Amino acid sequence: MTREHPRDPLHGITLETIVTALVAHFGWEELGEHVRIRCFTHDPSVQSSLKFLRKTPWARAKVEELYRVMLVADREKLA
């Protein structure tokens, strides 16, 4: 028996993949402007960001929302 998954663009995507994609798209400085958290603005790294985001649900929600917005914007560019 198979179960259908919701059409969530985050389904099956790891937090590390999300952070890495956002850094590649925006860079640390602009990412820190979009999501005002210290791990993006002061000596940023993927590992320190993951550690903070895994412990901080509100920050993770903001990062995931920015990733969704980025995906929509990229799709619109292709259309």
User: Which residue ranges form the domains of the chain, and what is each CATH number?
Assistant: 15-78 (1.10.720.30)
Residue 1, pLDDT > 70, answer no
Amino acid 5: pLDDT:
61
Looking at residue 7, what is its pLDDT?
A: 78
What's residue 65's pLDDT?
96
Handedness of CA 46, 51, 52, 53 (dihedral sign): positive
Task: Provide the pLDDT confidence category of residue 73 given band limits of 50, 70 and 90.
Answer: confident
pLDDT in tens, 39-67: 999 999 999 999 999 999 999 999 999 99
* CA angle 63–18–13, rounded 5-degree value: 120
Average pLDDT over the chain reads 90
